[in-house]
Amino acid sequence: MELKKYWQPEAETMPREEIRKMQSEKLVKQVRHAYDHVPPYRKKMDEAGVKPEDIHGIEDIRKLPFITKYDLRDNYPDGMLATDVGKAGCVRIQSTSGTTGRRVIAYYTQHDVDLWEDCTARAITAAGCDRNDVCQIAYGYGLFTGGAGLNGGSHKVGCLTVPMSSGNTDRQIQFMQDLGTTLLCCTPSYAAYLGESLKERGIDPASLSLKAGIFGAEPWTEEMRRDIEKSLGIKAYDIFGLTEISGPGVAFECEAQHGMHVNEDHFYAEIVDPDTLEPVPVGEKGELVFTCLDKEAFPLIRYRTRDICVLDPTPCICGRTFIRMAKPMGRSDDMLIIRGVNVFPSQIETVLLNEGYAPNYRIEVDRANNSDTLDIYVELGEEQFGDTVKSVTNAEKKLAGAIKTMLGISPVVHLVAPKSIQRSEGKAVRVVDKRKLID
């Protein structure tokens, strides 16, 4: 049987006018649902002086108030759960990993789970996989959406699903070998670690059956993609999502590997200026905002993700008509302000990989003498480890210079022994901001 190109071709290749019409119809219904059944959102709409009757289509979305993570936290644990659904109508919860310190609980009906799993099935199909594939899922299972989301999509597609969860690298590699895993799903930082582990064990990636990987849940750079593709011998696809909106699969990459298609039949994406909250022109950078068009239990409208990115409306060679979002550079709350300059960890990662280092690093920010300090710890490669102190010092200076060119501020670079920086099995923690510990 020929390989299926799209999981749901009628949706994924729908003409743009039809997408907009569908989004308009769904938005009108969803606003009514949220107004009637999500009391905190009703309050927000009342305060903003907008009624469900004022919303006639997607062009009216600008009239609606935003929801932020603070609203979710204030309404913990179930204040934003639709009252007509209630806990009795739900079949599952998931919870954020709390990367930025605040846990949120998201609720799902069976219908919500089905839509979500269709989204991950679309991603798996776009990565060139079907029922003949062996899909090893090394995202964490449990409250985190990664494991559950990809697991559901893999079942739908009919892959042989291997629910490994994260960690236990030896066992991961053994299962890849014994079961002939073709598709690996995990965070990009764990994928990089698995690649490094293969090398360490002297296993040639070509001896495995791996052909593709679906990696997401944290920011990663193009340079890191190339690194992973090489070390695992695969094509690496990005996937994006967040618990509040459902989980991984809100957007996914196709064979073009150039931005992720937003599943626009279920989620409406906007980019707004994070200060003025006004929409920015298409193609400009800003904060990503999502509206769930057909979720029942947790129908978030205009949810501010804090992710900074750009939308690309140009047609894609894959034939999908859904708009694409660029890799988020990081979240507005990942952004460090160092000596008045905005710094995203992903910018530093780009320089490291361009300069030939592995993506194993730690960024430490502190204050000394009323000024911010920036220290970057980077691992030496095995081959550099035996170098003289002088050549290591020169290498540190060279790297510091390249980072200064990128950021406009000078860091202190410390090249440290191979394997001395802790590896991550889930989302990597790469920044230690000691300034925050003081205030």
Rounded alpha-carbon distances, angstroms, from residue 168 to 171, 174, 228, 376, 386: 6, 10, 19, 28, 30
| 97 touches, from ligand ADP, Zn ion, none (C-beta below 5 to 8 Å by class) | ligand ADP
Closest CA to 123 of 284, 6, 286: 6
Contact partner, 320, from ligand ADP, Zn ion, none, Cβ < 5-8 Å per class:
Zn ion
> Which one of residues 99, 209, 332, 373 is an interface residue with ligand ADP (CB under 6 A)?
99
Question: Which listed option, ligand ADP, Zn ion, none, makes contact with residue 100 (CB within 5 to 8 Å by class)?
Answer: ligand ADP
Contacting residue, 254, 310, 325, 407, with Zn ion by CB under 5 A: 254
For the record, the structure tokens of 190 come out as 């764990």
Q: Token digits for 333?
A: 């709350």
The whole-angstrom separation of Cα 375 and Cα 372 is 10
Q: Segment contacting ligand ADP (CB under 6 A): 50-58, 97-105, 116-124, 229-237? A: 97-105
User: According to CB under 6 A, which one of 270, 307, 349, 372 is a site residue for ligand ADP?
Assistant: 307
In DSSP terms, 331 is beta-bridged to 307
- Residue 381 interacting entry, from Zn ion, ligand ADP, none, C-beta within 5 to 8 Å by type: none
* Count of residues that bind ligand ADP according to CB under 6 A: 20
Residue 53 CB contacts under 8 Å (≥ 6 apart), including other chains: none
Three-class DSSP category at 279: strand
Q: Does 219 bind ligand ADP (CB under 6 A)?
A: yes
Q: If binding means CB under 5 A, how many residues of this protein chain bind Zn ion? A: 5
Q: Does 68 bind ligand ADP (CB under 6 A)?
A: no
Q: Where are the beta strands (DSSP E) in 275-370?
A: 286-292, 303-309, 311-312, 324-325, 336-338, 341-343, 361-368
Q: To the nearest whole angstrom, how small is the minimum distance from the Cβ of residue 216 to ligand ADP?
A: 3
Q: Indicate the residue among 112 and 372 with the shorter CB distance to ligand ADP.
A: 112
Spatial distance between the Cα atoms of 407 and 402, rounded to a whole number of angstroms: 9
- Closer CB to ligand ADP, residue 23 or residue 97? 97
**Alpha-carbon gap, residue 169 to 174, rounded angstroms:** 9
Site for ligand ADP in 324-353 (CB under 6 A): 327-328, 331
Of 239 and 293, the one with the shorter C-beta distance to ligand ADP is 239
Q: What radius of gyration, in Å, describes the C-alpha atoms of the chain?
A: 22
Torsion of CA 122, 128, 131, 136, to 10 degrees: -90
State the minimum distance, in angstroms, from the CB of residue 317 to Zn ion: 6
Residue 305 near ligand ADP by CB under 6 A: yes
The yes or no reply on residue 243 touching ligand ADP (CB under 6 A) is: yes
The closest of 21, 2, 5 to 265, measured between CA atoms, is 21
State in angstroms the smallest separation of the CB of 259 from Zn ion.
8
| Biggest alpha carbon–alpha carbon distance for the chain | 73
Closer to Zn ion by CB, 129 or 301: give it.
129
Cα–chain center distance at 149? 13
Options 68, 100, 168, 393; binder of ligand ADP; rule CB under 6 A: 100
Site residues, ligand ADP (CB under 6 A) = 96-100, 216-219, 238-243, 305, 307, 327-328, 331
Under the rule (CB under 5 A), what is the footprint of Zn ion?
Answer: 254, 256, 316, 318, 320
